[in-house]
Amino acid sequence: MKYEATGKSLRRHPVPAWFHDAKLGIFVHWGLYSVPGWAPLTGELTEVVAKEGWASWYTRNPYAEWYLNTIRIPGSPSHEYHVATYGEGFSYDDFAPRFNEAIQKWDPDEWADLFQRVGARYVVLTTKHHDGFLLWPSRHPNPKKEGYFTTRDLVGELTEAVRARGLRMGLYYSGGLDWTFNDLVIRHGLDMFAGVPQGADYVAYADGHWVELIDRYQPSILWNDIGYPAAANLRQLFADYYNRVPDGVINDRFIQLKIGGDWLFKNRLVRSVTGWLVGQMMARGLFSLPAGKHYDYRTPEYSSFKTITELKWEATRGIAYSFGYNRNEGPENTPSVRELVHLLVDIVSKNGNLLLNVGPMADGTIPLLQRERLLGLGRWLAVNGEAVFDTRPWVKAEGRTGRGTAVRFTQGEDSVYAILLDTPGHEQVTIESLDAGASAAVHLLGHGPALNWKQDGVNLAITLPGVLPDGVSGSPAYAFRITPPPRIHGR
C-alpha cells in the first residue's frame, strides 16, 4: 500500500503485529545531562504533580535530563548543586567536550547483549533531547551552536548492534522543546507548549532531522516528544515514513499547538484551573500528554491505563524517578524486580507495552543497580515469557484468588494465561469465577508435567507440585497456562 499525505490514508496504517507482540522495550536517555548526572529525589511524576502542582515539580525536577532547565530556576536544588560543583561561570555547553571524551569508552555491543538477555524486543534511543544536543553527526548541524553534536555516530552504532541481535530499533527526538531555539524556562505544564519553537528555521531544522533519521536508519518507531511546530507538514512526513518503513509505528506526541503569546495561557485563572484538572488526572494515576492528530499508539508516562484499552498503548518510565542518569538514586528509590514484574504483567494484560528506561553514565556505563533490575526481570521472563510475549488481552484483565492474591490474564493462540502476582503460600491455588472444561490441561510455566485441578463450584482450584524447580520457587509471579481457554463464570 502506498500512503498519501491525507488523514484518511494515514488512518489505514495498522499497528503491526510485531509491536503488539513485543511487550517490552528499553528506552535510553543519554546526553550532556549524563555528565553531571544529578537531580533531587523528589518522587514519581504523577504523585508529585497531584500533591504539589507543576511549579513544585519543575523547581525540584527529579528528571536529570531536564538539568539545563532546572539549573535556570534560581534557588532550585539543581541550580544550587551546579554552582557549588562547577562554579557560576560554568556553562551547560561546557559539558559537551567532557561527554565527547567519555563516549570513546562506550561499547554498543555490551548494551545490545544486555537488552537481549533481558528479553526486550525493541530499543528506543534519544537522538536529541530538549537541550538540542545531537547524538549523531547530522547533515543539519545546529545553526545556534557550532559543533553541538557527538563525535561518534551513537545512533548508527547502537542501531547496528541492536539489529544484529534481532531487536527492533526506534528513535526518540524532541520535536517540541529545543532550548537552543527557544530558551523559555519551563515552570508550568502549559509552558511546555509555549516553549515549542515556531519559526520557519526550526520547522526546516526539525523536519530535516526526522527525514535524515528515517533515510539513514529506517527506525521502526518514531518517538517524538512534547509536540511539534504548528507550521510543519506532518502528514507528508508520516506518509513518507510509512512508505519507507511500512511496519513502522508513530507515537502520539506530535501535537501541533501554537500558543506562544496567547493571553489565555498567561491568564492566572486559566493556568490554575488547568493545573487543577491535570492534578485530578494525576491523582487517578494517569498522565499522558495531549495527542497529535495522527498516531499509532498512546504513551502514558509513569502511569498506566486501568482497563483493557482497544487502542494500543505503551507505558514509559525510568527504572527509578529519572530517565537520565541520576547519581543520587539508590535501592530505596528503585522498584524491586518483583514490582517491575508485576508492572509489566499488569500493562500487558491491558493491551500495553512497557518501555522501561535506562540512564547510562556519560561513558556509557549502565549503573549496576539498573543492570540488576533489568537482569532480574529478564530471569523471570526466561521462564514465564510465554505468558507475556506474543499474547493479546483476554476478555478481562484482572482477577483474584480465593485468598485475595491479584491475578492478571493474557491470551495466547490456544490458551489463556493466569498470572498470580505473588508466590502462593499454600499447595492449592483457587482462581475465582473461572470455569475450565472437562478436557482442560493446566501447566505451571517452568514446571513440565500438567497439574491436578478441579472445579470448585464456580472457581478453578489448582494443586501445586510439592517441589518446584529453580527459577519457579519463590518467583515474584506464577504463570499458569490453561488449554483450551476457560470461560468466566456467568458469561
Q: What pLDDT, on the 0 to 100 scale, is given for residue 473?
A: 74
Average pLDDT, the chain: 93
Q: How far is CA 102 from CA 85, 136, 364, 379, in A?
A: 19, 15, 8, 31
Q: What pLDDT, on the 0 to 100 scale, is given for residue 466?
A: 80
Q: How far is CA 76 from CA 32, 56, 69, 266, in A?
A: 19, 10, 10, 23
Please give the single-letter amino acid code of residue 100: N
What gap in Å lies between CA 282 and CA 276, rounded to an integer?
Answer: 10
The predicted-structure confidence for 175-226, as pLDDT tens digits, reads as follows 999 999 999 999 987 888 889 999 999 999 999 999 999 999 999 999 999 9
- Nearest CA among 491, 468, 1, 3 for reference residue 240: 3
Give the CA angle between residues 92, 94, 98 to the nearest 5°. Answer: 115
Q: What pLDDT, on the 0 to 100 scale, is given for residue 467?
A: 77
Lowest mean pLDDT among 60-74, 277-291, 401-415: 277-291
Superfamily of domain 7-387: Glycosidases (3.20.20.80)
The pTM assigned to this predicted structure is 0.94
CB 389: neighbour CB atoms within 10 A? 17
Write phi, then psi, for 281 (nearest 5 degrees). -65, -45
Segment 268-289 shows an average pLDDT of: 55
Segment 411-427 shows an average pLDDT of: 92
The predicted-structure confidence for 459-476, as pLDDT tens digits, reads as follows 999 999 887 776 677 799
Residue 286 banded pLDDT, cuts 50, 70, 90 = low
- 357 Cα distance to chain centroid: 6
Q: Per-residue pLDDT for 263 more than 50?
A: no
The predicted-structure confidence for 43-65, as pLDDT tens digits, reads as follows 998 889 888 888 999 999 999 99
Q: What pLDDT, on the 0 to 100 scale, is given for residue 269?
A: 52
Q: Per-residue pLDDT for 172 more than 80?
A: yes
Contact 107/175 with Cβ under 8 angstroms? no
Q: Per-residue pLDDT for 270 more than 70?
A: no
Superfamily of domain 398-488: Golgi alpha-mannosidase II (2.60.40.1180)
Q: What pLDDT, on the 0 to 100 scale, is given for residue 189?
A: 79
Write phi, then psi, for 398 (nearest 5 degrees). -120, 150
Share of the chain above pLDDT 70, in %: 93
Annotated domain spans of the chain:
7-387, 398-488
What secondary structure, in 3-state letters, does the chain show?
A: CCCCCCHHHHCCCCCCHHHHHHCEEEEECCCHHHCCCCCCCCCCHHHHHHHHCHHHHHHCCCCHHHHHHHCCCCCCHHHHHHHHHHCCCCCHHHHHHHHHHHHHHCCHHHHHHHHHHHCCCEEEEEEECCCCCECCCCCCCCCCCCCCECCCCHHHHHHHHHHHCCCEEEEEECCCCCCCCCCCCCCCCCHHHHCCCCCHHHHHHHHHHHHHHHHHHCCCEEEECCCCCCCCCHHHHHHHHHHHCCCCEECCCCCCCCCCCCHHHHCHHHHHHHHHHHHHHHHCCCCCCCCCCCCCCECCECCCCCCCCCCCEEEEEECCCCCCCCCCCCHHHCCCHHHHHHHHHHHHHCCEEEEEEECCCCCCCCCHHHHHHHHHHHHHHHHHHHHCCCCECCCCCEEEECCCCEEEEEECCCCEEEEECCCCCCCEEEECCEECCCCCEEEECCCCCCECEEEECCEEEEECCCCCCCCCCCCCCEEEEEECCCEECCC
Tell me the torsion sign for CA atoms 95, 100, 104, 109: positive
Contact 295/250 with Cβ under 8 angstroms? yes
Q: Which position has the higher pLDDT, 210 or 292?
A: 210
Contact 309/351 with Cβ under 8 angstroms? yes
Contact 446/474 with Cβ under 8 angstroms? no
Q: What pLDDT, on the 0 to 100 scale, is given for residue 279?
A: 52
Q: Per-residue pLDDT for 274 more than 60?
A: no
Q: Per-residue pLDDT for 264 more than 50?
A: no
Segment 442-453 shows an average pLDDT of: 94
The predicted-structure confidence for 76-128, as pLDDT tens digits, reads as follows 999 999 999 999 999 999 999 999 999 999 999 999 999 999 999 999 999 99
